[in-house]
Amino acid sequence: MKIRKYLCFGLALMLISVSSCDNYLEPKLTNQYGDDITWKLPSYAMGTLLEAYGAIGETTCSYDGNNYLDAVTDNSLTTGLASTLYTYVFGNQTAHSGALNNWATAYSAIATANLFLEKGLSPDIIYDISDSERDKKYRERSKGEAYFLRAWWQMELLRNYGGRSSIDGKVLGYVIVTRTFHEEERETVNAYPRSEFEICVRQILADCDTAFKYLPLQYANNNSNDPPYGMDNLGRASGKAVLSLKSRIALLAASPAYQPLGANAISEDSIRKKWLRAAVMAHEAISVGQMGALNDMIPLDNDMLVGANVNVPAHANSYNEILFRRTSNNRVPELNHFPPMWFGEGKCNPSQNLVNAYPMKNGYPITDVRSGYDSQHPYINRDGRFEQQISYNGLRFYGLGTEIRPLQIYSSAADSTVGFDSPGYDFRNTWTGYYLRKGMSNKLNVNYNPDNPGGTQTDYHSNPLMRRAEVWLNLAEALNELYGPEGALPGGNAAHTPVAIVKRLRTLYGTGNAYVDEVALEGAEKFRDLLLNERRLEFAFENMRLWDMRRWKLPLNTAILGIKIYKEENNNFVYFGTNPGEDDIVVQERHLLADEKYYSSPIPYAELVKNPNLIQNAGW
């Protein structure tokens, strides 16, 4: 794609660097290129803007040590002992270092966007010398991208560092920066305080509104006629991405964790207005964003995330579902997360906690006697997302052209053998009894080719940063908080109720809905639990779970469960740990207590030293 070509070109030239050591708000030109060159050549100018894209992870496993953020939630654990995500769950995050620290990265990207807005739109830069109308489109699109990227990185700061003040119960966000600063302004900028959370929300929404004015709603398949808006730009910000981001921010702002307390507390009516704003913005994203009717929702199939199709605009399902993405052509997920017997590291182990969360195909939770769940045949007739996301004992696994076999995750056997993929056969094998399937390549010989040791393959991967399903579930959550499970937005579509949205989503995966109606009768609080579980399943291993847990203050110290499987002489398997609450097997204890501090990240100590007006989050 053209966006990746420009990105590589821009980064290779190293036109601009943003030094967090000196001042994270001050972009610095290298000695090789000065303003007179950088801000006259369009490819150079575009390269600076694309640095802000480049800071976003190309793959879903983009966290420390090629891990998923799910590893610090109840969805999974990481066996990568050197990763800061591993130590994080034992309460080892500090203001000096930590797994989630992206303060400098975010401000570097914001500074780059600001610099482009100030210099990249100069009349001295001609983006298309042969066609003035195209030049105008390139200029406007780039302006919209810069505003979007500034909003995106502000969102990253807000959901990571937003939290209650250690002084007075106010909820604070980040230091708002909307222009570049230079050396002579160092003292000024290092005295800026963090703005209140709601002010940060409004700043992001304002940037989104500006971005929307200049971006195409989506990129169309007409590259030769209209290259600034053609499908070669798939991966850039679009109008649909902007509307989705607004919906996400509005939902975050209404969530309980970000409402001030004490003398600064706001009224219940004010909180309801925030939920109404979230509902309206989700509705606008769907309607203005032309995202289709409720019945147009589609399941997230694996071919939307991995394979050659992720880069093919004609793959309409992927194009319509994934609203903002980063893509790559590599084997990073497979090298890090395939089972070791398929030449991976098996780092991400889905938890039994997550496996227990998938309902049966008839829609009932496995703890409900009506579900038909059998703990000795635990993987039969489950919600369709289960088999798409989790690799389990007996599932056929693709890896080598000469060996396609079921996963062997039984811990021991009557003949004293141990399954190739089980704990005890290889020290890197799964701790929980599961491997990751979602987003993994189905190509043969990805990591190793027995017939040609040098003939491994890469595969295309898509990191789905925002999806249409998220917007629908945002709408469902906001409406549930306002009007209950059967409520609809006044002036909106009366059929778009939380119940209807959840039913449609589950139907996509072949899951029944009688249970949904039962929960709806119990009211908004019970239905909220159902909604959060649907989000958990739908966005598993898309690095979303932690943010939902934080904003609703769900327990962070839940022990991670696993299973043990024994193979009998008759080749039957006996399962232990698959009967929730009765034979749970604890694999990893978590030490993130129910403390205010763990629901936000600490402002880095180095920034507190530079800026005496920064207030730390409570507990840090």
Q: Which domains does the chain have, with CATH numbers?
A: 2-55+99-237+599-610 (1.25.40.890), 64-77+332-447+558-591 (no CATH)
Model pLDDT, residue 19:
35
Question: What's the chain's average pLDDT?
Answer: 90
Ranges assigned E (strand) in 222-321: none
List all residues 6 or more positions away from 451 whose beta carbon is below 8 Å from its beta carbon: 401, 402
pLDDT of the residue at 39: 83
Residue 37 has phi, psi (to 5 degrees) of -95, -50
**pLDDT value, residue 48:** 84
Rounded Cα–Cα distance for residues 305 and 310 (Å): 6
Tell me how far apart the alpha carbons of residues 412 and 421 are, in angstroms, rounded to a whole number: 11
Three-class DSSP category at 403: strand
Question: What does the longest C-alpha to C-alpha distance in the chain come to?
Answer: 79
What pLDDT, on a 0 to 100 scale, did the predictor assign at position 312? 66
- DSSP-derived letter for residue 225 is T
**Residues ≥6 apart with Cβ < 8 Å to 119:** 35, 38, 39, 45
pLDDT at 46: 86
Q: How many CA atoms, within 13 angstroms, populate the side-chain half-sphere of residue 451?
A: 7
The pLDDT tens digits of the residues spanning 206-252 come to: 999 999 999 999 998 666 678 899 888 889 999 999 999 999 999 99
Angle 42-54/132-161 helices, nearest 10 degrees?
Answer: 20
**d(C-alpha 254, C-alpha 174), whole Å:** 17
Q: Which residues of the chain have pLDDT under 50?
A: 1-33
User: E strand or H helix at 366, and its extent?
Assistant: none
Tokens of 333: 């997920």
β-pair partners for 461 = 306, 328
Exposure string of 149-168, with b = 16+ CB inside 10 Å and e = fewer, is bbbbbbbbbbbbbbbbbbee
Q: CB neighbours (10 Å) of residue 586? A: 11
* Range list of H helices, 261-368: 268-287, 316-321, 332-337, 352-357
On whether the CB atoms of residues 18 and 29 are closer than 8 A, the answer is no
Q: What is the pLDDT of residue 444?
A: 83
Handedness of CA 232, 234, 236, 241 (dihedral sign): positive
Three-state DSSP class for 190?
A: coil
Model pLDDT, residue 401: 64
Answer yes or no: are the C-beta atoms of 261 and 164 closer than 8 Å: yes
pLDDT value of position 439: 95
